Amino acid sequence: MTVTVAASDNVGVSKVELRIDGKLYASSTSATPSFVWKTSKLAAGAHTLQAVAFDAAGNLTRSAVVTVYK
């Protein structure tokens, strides 16, 4: 499964993290990264996804939490 994120900042995005079930899954220095989420070994049930974007000053913003079911 591909998870695509789009982040923006008035100065620039320095990093975007993808967190799955509250844990860091992957990060990118792109403001519009696509992450490949390997779900084959994932337990059945609900899982949460959230993106966290950082700017050069270290400020961060979290996306809304999205719940997906396997």
How far apart (Å, rounded) are the C-alpha atoms in residues 66 and 50? 6
Burial code (b: 16+ CB inside 10 Å, e: under 16) for 18-33 equals bbbeeeeeeebeebeb
Tell me: the pLDDT tens digits for 19-69? Answer: 999 999 999 999 999 999 999 989 999 999 999 999 999 899 999 999 999
Identify any residues that bridge with 47 across adjacent strands, giving them in sequence order.
Answer: 68
40 to 33, 34, 70: CA distances (angstroms):
21, 18, 10
Model-wide pTM > 0.85: yes
Domain coverage including residue 37: 2-69
Total domains in the chain come to: 1
Q: What is the pLDDT of residue 11?
A: 87
